[in-house]
Amino acid sequence: MARGKMIYEGKAKILYEGPDPDTLVQYFKDDATAFNAQKMEVIGGKGALNNRLSEFFMQGLMQIGIPTHFIKRLNMREQLIRRVDIIPLEVIVRNVAAGSISKRLGMEEGSQLPRPIVEFSYKDDALGDPLVPEEYISAFGWASQHELDEIVSIALRVNDFLSGVMLAVGIKLVDFKIEIGRVIEGDFQRLIVADEISPDSCRLWDIKTGEKLDKDVFRRDLGNLADAYTEVARRLGVLPSNTPKPGKPTLVN
């Protein structure tokens, strides 16, 4: 499928116009970034792995009735998706304390949280995606109160689904981030899961050993990121047959 002109380049993905106005082609890059792109590397194989893993998770969500932007995978690095009006929020669900909540509240990483916690960051790289209360979101019109209620409900259903899928392959879903978009269907506006779901946007720990199988491997220099993502894909049975063998990471700058 011929893709159209590039409309957006992010840190890990590029969006191109799709074959019709309601679609886009999402291209997964091999670039890994952390700390608002202060740390960057090219990790051979990452784009293909995330393309397959995001396809797997989005398809699973659609099978249980949670709508997503995913239409079909086109090739190793690209998928056809629905064009959405993205809500400028990172919707984060946490089951276990790690990362920024541990820092903010002085909680030991690995502490079980009393219940899944949903929080929101305002998507703005220049501001470092600050954590925002729901009050800001409705007051500034990023999403209505009604949409927020639906976003929380979607996020918790995604959490139940992903936690179960991971548990079945011996992985604990510590936390994850999703993004939500609006689509118009007839006379109605609907919220759907957009962007990607991959080990770039989750924390995944081996249940027995605690080994990290997510982007923290890169953020914290814990080993080979592509090996960690390959292990997740292998356990889930979604290893692409012809993913390039992870090579030596190349410094971007």
Q: What does 11 bind: ligand ASP, ligand TMP, none (CB cut-off 5 to 8 Å by kind)?
A: ligand ASP
- Interface with ligand TMP (CB under 6 A): 92, 99-101, 129, 175-177, 201-203
Shortest distance, position 35 Cβ to ligand TMP, whole Å:
8
| Segment contacting ligand ASP by CB under 6 A, of 30-38, 68-76, 109-117, 225-233 | 30-38
- CB-nearer residue toward ligand TMP: 78 or 129: 129
Output the smallest distance, CB 74 to ligand ASP, in A. 24
Q: Which does 219 bind (CB under 5 to 8 A by kind): ligand TMP, ligand ASP, none?
A: ligand ASP
As given in the structure block, the two tokens for residue 231 are 């292990």
Using the contact rule CB under 6 A, the part of the chain among 34-42, 112-120, 139-147, 191-199 near ligand ASP is: 34-42
Contact pick of 21, 35, 185, 248 for ligand ASP (by CB under 6 A): 35
* C-beta of 83 vs 215, nearer to ligand ASP: 215
Interaction mask 186-225, ligand ASP, x per CB under 6 A: -----------------------------x---x------
Q: What is the DSSP string of the chain?
A: -----EEEE-SSEEEEE-SSTTEEEEEE-SEEEETTTTEEEE-TTHHHHHHHHHHHHHHHHHHTT--BSEEEE-SSSEEEEE--EE-SEEEEEEEE--HHHHHHHTPPTTPEEEEEEEEEEE--GGGT--EE-HHHHHHTTSS-HHHHHHHHHHHHHHHHHHHHHHHTTTEEEEEEEEEEEEEEETTEEEEEEES--STTSEEEEETTT--B-STHHHHTT-S-HHHHHHHHHHHHT---TTPPPP---EE--
Report in angstroms how near the CB of residue 129 gets to ligand TMP at its nearest: 6
